[in-house]
Amino acid sequence: MLRRAGALREATILLSRRRTTVATNFEMTMNSLNRRCFLGASTAAAGASALASLLNSTSAAAATGTGTLPHFLPQAKRIIWLTQGGAPSQLELFDDKPGLRNQFDQDLPESVRNGQRLTGMTAGQKRFPIAPSIYRFGKHGECGMELSEILPFTAKHADDLCLIRTMHTEAINHDPAMTLLQTGHQISGRPSFGAWIAYGLGSENDNLPAFTVLISRPSGGTNAQPLAERMWGSGFLPAKYQGVRLNSGKDPVLYLSNPEGLTQDRRRAMLDDLAALNKQKLADYQDPEIQTRIDQFEMAFRMQTSVPELADLSQEPAHVFERYGPEAKKPGTYAANCLLARRLAERGVRFIQLYHRGWDQHASLPSGIKSQCYDTDQPTAALLSDLKERGMFDDTLIVWGGEFGRTVYSQGVLTPTNYGRDHHPRCYSIWVAGAGIRRGHTIGETDEFSYNIVKDPVHIHDLNATLLQQLGIEHTAFTYRHQGRDYRLTDIHGEVVKDMLS
């Protein structure tokens, strides 16, 4: 019995050891097949190259097999995208339809709407009464561009603008439309335009991120659609390429300042120790995101000096504030952010995204859009003037526009002085100016109702392809491999709009 008990105990121990060995081998095998480890090990060299752009101001796209960027000599060094969230009405601003004044409160012909899908906000309406704009238009500049009376400052730059009246999109609601505008796809998860540029072209300033975001608040208390941070996210690109939001107030970047009692030398020593630990993990796992973490800590340390100097507008002369308008000295306003955008551009930031919300006027549009123009018209014109004076207009792309347009028919009650407009993806207006863009030019025509495109449609993919070309990037060759597929900003679409180019 004792001999049997001893043999049984020995067999149990042996079996336990075998189980441990099998489990250990299984764990090692799984670790070797772990997706993150596999990607890290197989793309270590590519990851190191891709993640170097912020520190070395060099292109990262060589890691994707697209070749060193730019592909050809660029005309633009940077983009300032003035994103008007909520969809400005083209009928009140850029696309004059004077003939509608004779059709006030008449039903929009079904042949014009032609079964177009509607939002839930107007799908239940029994009528679709035509609402002519109460605002008048005039011809401006030597080009004779037609612009609204509520854009008097922008109108002074008519000869600098390329106005596109035939932008169109597939999305009919704000979130998917803004996601498409920012990322080239309605479904979230892809990199934003700014992240693509940060990845492809890197930064010209080691002390500031390549991609920054500014959000301004409307002054009129109008309906402001929320903005998700994924709008300026990096999607499947390394996280270091996402936009860095600059806030108004004491701390432009949250948690950037040292806590009370922590000296700069102590912070430096702490970061050195943390970097050493992260480098050990990087050697173990070859995870590119660990390198991203190291680089982001270093960037934050450098930004502790560069960002306060950037955000300090007190050194700007009085005439500059006067140019940007009465709101320019109020942090967080569109005017203050336009001035900040110019300062960012001067310091080598590649992509500056300025969001202004509040254009979603389903009711009381005449008063609401006038308030929005008070916020944006003078500062936008001031930014154009500032860039010109500093010799930066010719190498900067400036884009002004929203995610879709507004309907010609009224949403809700229609009166001669008040009405609202619903979402309209079939046609809307934006303008582009600056580096290599044709000046004083209008692209496209819409029908007499500003409802359908008659001539020269421009899709968001076409716009993005054209902007990329001005940055020296061939959009079909600018890709990133993710989950076995080569993705690009313009997806499988997009044609350069040659009529936009000078």
Cα(50)–Cα(462) distance, rounded to whole angstroms? Answer: 27
- List the beta strands (DSSP E) in 150-192: 161-168
Per-residue pLDDT at 43: 43
Per-residue pLDDT of the chain (502 residues; tens, 9 = 90+): 444 444 444 544 444 444 444 344 444 444 444 444 444 444 433 333 333 333 334 444 434 434 478 999 999 999 999 999 999 999 999 999 999 999 999 999 999 998 888 999 999 999 999 999 999 999 999 999 999 999 999 999 999 999 999 999 999 999 999 999 999 999 999 999 999 999 999 989 888 999 999 999 888 765 677 888 899 999 999 988 999 999 886 777 766 677 777 777 777 777 777 878 888 888 888 887 888 777 777 776 676 777 777 888 888 999 999 999 999 999 999 999 999 999 999 999 999 999 999 999 999 999 999 999 999 999 999 999 999 999 999 999 999 999 999 999 999 899 999 999 999 999 999 999 999 999 999 999 999 999 999 999 999 999 999 999 999 999 999 999 999 999 999 989 999 999 999 9
Per-residue pLDDT at 148: 98
Helices and strands, counts by H and E, the chain: 15, 17
Cα(137)–Cα(99) distance, rounded to whole angstroms? Answer: 13
DSSP string, 377-405: HHHHHHHHHHHHHTT-GGGEEEEEE-S-E
Give pLDDT tens digits for 440-470.
999 999 999 999 999 999 999 999 999 999 9
Torsion angle of the four alpha carbons 121, 123, 129, 133, in this order, in degrees rounded to the nearest 10 = 40
Phi, psi dihedrals of residue 356, rounded to the nearest 5°:
-130, 115
* DSSP element (H, E) containing 80: strand 78-84
Per-residue pLDDT at 33: 40
* Chain mean position to CA 199: 14
Q: Which two tokens stand for residue 132?
A: 């002519």
Per-residue pLDDT at 217: 85
Cis amide linkage into residue 70, ω under 30° from 0: yes
Are the CB atoms for 202 and 60 separated by under 8 Å? yes
DSSP string, 241-306: GSPEEEPSSS-SSTT-SPPTT--HHHHHHHHHHHHHHHHHHHHHH--HHHHHHHHHHHHHHHHHHH
pTM of the model: 0.83
Non-local (6+) Cβ contacts of 24 within 8 A are none
Per-residue pLDDT at 264: 77
Per-residue pLDDT at 221: 61
Per-residue pLDDT at 32: 42
Per-residue pLDDT at 376: 98
Cα(462)–Cα(496) distance, rounded to whole angstroms? Answer: 6
As beta bridge partners, residue 341 has: none
Cα(386)–Cα(15) distance, rounded to whole angstroms? Answer: 79
Cα(402)–Cα(372) distance, rounded to whole angstroms? Answer: 13
As beta bridge partners, residue 214 has: 246, 354
Per-residue pLDDT at 301: 63
